[in-house]
Amino acid sequence: MTQVHTFDAIIIGAGGAGLMAALHAERGTNVAVISKMYPTRSHTGTAQGGVAAPLGNMEEDRWEWYMYDTVKGGDYLVDQDAAEILARESVDAVLELEHWGLPFDRTEDGRIEQRRFGGHTRDFGKSPVMRSCKSADRTGHMILQTLYQNCIRRGIRFFDEFFVLDLILEDGIARGVAAVEIATGQTHLFLAKAVLLATGGFGRMFAVTSNAHSLSGDLVASVFRRGLPLEDMEFFQFHPTGIYKMGILLSEAARGEGGIMINGLGERFMERYAPTLLDLAPRDIISRSIDQEIRAGRGVDGKDYVYLDIRPETINRCQSAPGGKTVTAAQLEAKLPDIIEMMRVYQGIDPMKAPVPIQPTAHYAMGGIPTDCDGRVLGGSLSPVPGLFAAGECACVSVHGANRLGTNSLVDLLVFGRRSGRAMAEFCAGASPADPVAHAAEEALAELARLQRSRGPERVGALRAAMQHCMTDKVGLNRTAGGMEEALSILRDLKERYRHLGLADAGQKWNTEVLEAYELGCLLDLAEATTASALHRTESRGAHFREDFPKRDDANWLHHTLAFRAGSSGAGPVSEGIRFDRRPVSITTFQPEARVY
Amino acid sequence: MLVALKIKRFDPERKPAAWWSNYKLEAAPGDRVLDLLVRAKDELDGSLTFRRSCAHGICGSDAMRINGTNRLACKTLVRELGSRITVEPLLGMRVEKDLVVDMEPFLASYRSVKPYLINDEPLPADGRERRQSPAERLRFDDTTKCILCGCCTAACPVFWADGEYVGPAAIVQAHRFLFDSRDRGAGEHTAALLDMKGVWRCRTIFQCTLSCPREIKITQAIAEVKQAIVLGK
């Protein structure tokens, strides 16, 4: 028997966005947070370099400069009303974290210390500015811990290790979710006036990624399957400095502290591509520059990687540290302890003595579930879906446009997590109690049961690997119509094979095999939406680069993409085709210009 | 290289007692133990069960006993272990299935030290940050690194003998707040540490320190907490 729970509001996902929303919705609202992992395992915890806010603790800074950087960084596909909110409210959000106990690094006079980060500038692009508030290179860990600690303090209700399968929508209104308790296999129905989706990204559709195994976009797929649109799915960020072959992230903070990148000829190649900001240009530009170097045969030993060099003698020779100051190994070890350890552990290289091989790694979805500036999810007509909210990486506000700036994922989840939590509480105050639903989640539960009984010839791992390689090869940094059409055909074939999976685990308790199969189905749907959206957009902008359409085309494409599943029903992956619509970009202050760094 | 991977299994829905599975896998020296577990699950036995998420030593999901030592599977490379790798669940915690243990008692101990900043004084009037000097910040830096993986507590012989002992991880969390210059809740953080389940059960065996994947000086932190209690910090 399915167990039924009723709350005012439920939050799916216990990363930064979900916890921030819980803390802001909680007063007077009966809230529960549901997460497929223990909250402190969430991927927010792996964020490294910092969270932006124009505090001006190190040097003059202004929210207008930050807004400009965000808009230009996103190649003018950023909604400027949202970017203004992000830039203005970042200050308050960061200070709130400090008040809640977050151990930021400190200046000599006891203020929050800040560092430089890619694409963040003073005076509308003149030179890098110290805007990123940080705790060494483990800022995300500190944010996640601090938020969860405050949830413990407030006694917020958690359902940990509950896997949410599907959103329940009735007559276009969000009513709750269906979930499985992983430890027992017991099914649960959570009914609520308001549902907030805060499930993070879905980078596991790629072979080389910085994303956790858990990032499979389950609820983003659910929204798509329910006939709601996904926005800007073609914009997926490839972070330039992933550990070669493993994809593990080496923070941009390494370059903020003075590190540089060099090609196989020993050249500081960013001088060619971004003469002002150099190694601190935005990520899309650097990743594409690395790719161009490699394709021109200037990778290290002619291979598909370049070097990140953070040796103190290199930084001092290039005078690339902030203010051209001299740095020592001990100072770098104190500022970047975790990534230096990662280079030692995973690459077996001491980065104080040698440069380390890096390659771009799939990192962040700029697109996702369309929302307004208060987290309200927008449906097909761009009117809010009553009771449905989204925040964090799974949402598309859009403050990142075609390319997110470093640190802005954390700012996004704080600022919009907070706003959506408040909006949700306000919505609950005016909504009638959650009613029982007639046909709750029957499809999702049936799909799970079907998967668990399946004894076909196909294996989850093999299909997942095929999808990941297809996406990295054909829908990665360089895209062509031909490659993406092939990718669509491969993905549709994988969906067909998905109907014939064979699973070994017949048990109910801790059956992670069936859940991984379900996750794969979600990823297949999102991979198709990503590929189809990328094929649809016949221009290059930000992270989306088309070899066959290498220029930005504002006349035809200065708008967001909305992708809909053509026929909408069911809880498993199907290929029913995808249709497109558009959402206008909000342009309030900064007219699109050529993007030069 | 060919690796012999031996994994302790338990599934109460299938058998009342634990058993061992033996797999032979081709592996590279730079592969993580987690990579081998994922491949064993993907290619050889879909029922093999373990927790994992970030796969690079930050989320704390995949603590387990690897060749007799508590480690994160994603932060342990084949080259450190050689061609014979034995993986078991953490000791001292109830096994739910294969490598998955019940973390709830561990987390209850964590919550018992009130692991959050306690300070009800008014915030700075300008709404800005509370000031803290770099030296004050450095004082508790080491214990802010804890990822709640459980390696330390599950390596402690005192905890093995008595699961009621609050364990090193909870004391590390108390330390993180006790030595934060902004915190005013010393008595509340240490209340759960004063009795026979608390900090005095520590026998300074250093197992916790040796097993911490974040290299936190746990034994030292415990000593400092004891000292703070005695001196009435």
pLDDT in tens, B22-64: 999 999 999 999 999 999 999 999 999 999 999 999 999 999 9
A vs B, Cβ pairs < 8 A, gives 160
Beta-strand pair A114-122/A127-133: antiparallel
Residue A210 distance to chain B (closest CA, Å)? 8
CA distances from A213 to A135, A346, A364, B64, B123 (A): 25, 18, 14, 18, 40
pLDDT of A570 reads 64
Query: For residue A504, what is the nearest residue in chain B, using CA coordinates?
Result: B46
Q: Residue A456 half-sphere exposure, CB side, CA atoms within 13 Å?
A: 15
Q: Which amino acid is residue A484, in one-letter code?
A: M
CB contacts, 8 Å: A461 with chain B: 38-39, 41-43
B47 closest CB neighbour out of A110, A138, A505: A505
Confidence of residue B81 (pLDDT cuts 50, 70, 90): very high
Beta strands in A36-151 (DSSP E): 51-52, 114-122, 127-133
Q: Does the N-terminal peptide bond of residue A398 adopt cis geometry, omega within 30 degrees of 0?
A: yes
The whole-number pLDDT of residue A575 equals 65
Residue of B nearest to A248 (CA): B56
Candidates A19, A37, A38: best to mutate against B (most CBs of B within 10 A) is A38
Note whether B3 and B25 are within 8 A (CB). Answer: yes
Local confidence pLDDT in tens for the 597 residues of chain A: 789 999 999 999 999 999 999 999 977 899 999 999 999 999 999 999 999 999 999 999 999 999 999 999 999 999 999 999 999 999 999 999 999 999 999 999 999 999 999 999 999 999 999 999 999 999 999 999 999 999 999 999 999 999 999 999 998 999 999 999 999 999 999 999 999 999 999 999 999 999 999 999 999 999 999 999 999 999 999 999 999 999 999 999 999 999 999 999 999 999 999 999 999 999 999 999 999 999 999 999 999 999 999 999 999 999 999 999 999 999 999 999 999 999 999 999 999 999 999 999 999 999 999 999 999 999 988 999 999 999 999 999 999 999 999 999 999 999 999 999 999 999 999 998 877 776 777 888 999 999 999 999 999 999 999 999 999 999 999 999 999 999 999 999 999 999 999 999 999 999 999 999 999 999 999 999 999 999 999 999 999 999 999 999 999 999 999 999 987 556 677 666 899 999 999 999 999 999 999
* Residue B150 φ/ψ, nearest 5 degrees: 95, -5
* pTM for this prediction: 0.97
Token output for A154 = 């407030």
Catalytic residue among A122, A283, A404, A552: A283
Q: Where are the beta strands (DSSP E) in chain B?
A: 2-9, 19-26, 63-66, 69-72, 84-88, 95-97, 100-101
Contact between A232 and A396 (Cβ < 8 Å): yes
Q: Which of A88, A182, A512 would best serve as a mutation to test chain B binding (most B beta carbons within 10 A)? A: A512
Q: What is the pLDDT of residue A569?
A: 59
Nearest-CB residue to A152 (from B77, B111, B140): B111
Q: Which of residues 9-28 of B touch A (CB under 8 A)?
A: 11-14
> Which chain A residues contact residue B128 at CB under 8 A?
95, 111
Is residue B125 very low, low, confident or very high in pLDDT (cuts 50, 70, 90)?
A: very high
**Among candidates B90, B94, B97, B83, which has minimal Cα distance to B23?**
B83
- B-chain CB neighbours of A110 within 8 Å are 129, 131-133
Measured CA to CA in angstroms, residue A368 lies from A402, A452, B129 at distances of 12, 29, 34
Cross-chain residue pair A153–B111, CB shorter than 8 Å: no
Look-up: residue for tokens 């030692």? A344
Encoding tokens for residue B88? 């078991």
Report pLDDT for A28: 84
In order of start, what are the domains of chain B with their CATH numbers?
Answer: 2-101 (3.10.20.30), 104-230 (1.10.1060.10)
> How many Å separate Cα A527 from the centre of its chain?
15
Selection from B19, B60, B21, B180 nearest residue B115 by Cα:
B180
H or E, element range at A231:
strand A230-231
CA distances from A83 to A346, A416, A554 (A): 37, 11, 19
Beta bridge partners of A39: none
Contacts with B117 from chain A: Cβ below 8 Å = 100-101, 149
Q: Which of A147, A210, A510 best tests the B interface by mutation, with the highest count of B CBs <10 A?
A: A510
Residues of A within 8 A of B147 (CB-CB) are: 40, 45, 141
> End-to-end distance of chain A based on CA atoms, in angstroms?
60
Reduced to 3 states, what is the DSSP secondary structure of residue A388? strand
Residue A283: active-site member: yes
Taking alpha carbons only, the member of B30, B29, B33, B27 closest to residue B7 is: B33
Whether residues B137 and A106 touch (CB distance < 8 A) is answered with yes
- Tell me how far apart the alpha carbons of residues A415 and A93 are, in angstroms, rounded to a whole number: 6
What is the rounded CA–CA span in Å between residue A146 and residue B31? 33
Whether the Cβ atoms of residue A426 and residue A181 lie closer than 8 Å to each other = no
Give me the DSSP letters along A433-482: PPPP-SSTTHHHHHHHHHHHH-B-SB-HHHHHHHHHHHHHHHSSSSB-HH
Pairing of strands B63-66, B84-88: antiparallel
**Structure tokens of A308?**
């990140």
Q: Give the start-end residues of each E strand in A80-140.
A: 114-122, 127-133
Strands, E, within A310-435: which ranges? Answer: 356-365, 369-370, 376-378, 384-390, 395-396
Which residue, among A144, A123, A145, A143, has the nearest Cα to A133 in the 3D structure?
A143
Pairwise CA distance, residues A419 & A573, whole Å: 32
Contacts of B136 in chain A (CB under 8 A): 106
* CB atoms near residue A64 (< 10 Å): 16
Q: How far is A43 from chain B (nearest CA, A)?
A: 7
B164 touches A: beta carbon within 8 Å: no
- For CA atoms A516, A521, A527, A533, give the dihedral sign: negative
Q: Do B54 and A345 touch (CB under 8 A)?
A: no
Closest chain B residue to A185 measured between Cα atoms? B13
Beta bridge partners of A249: A242
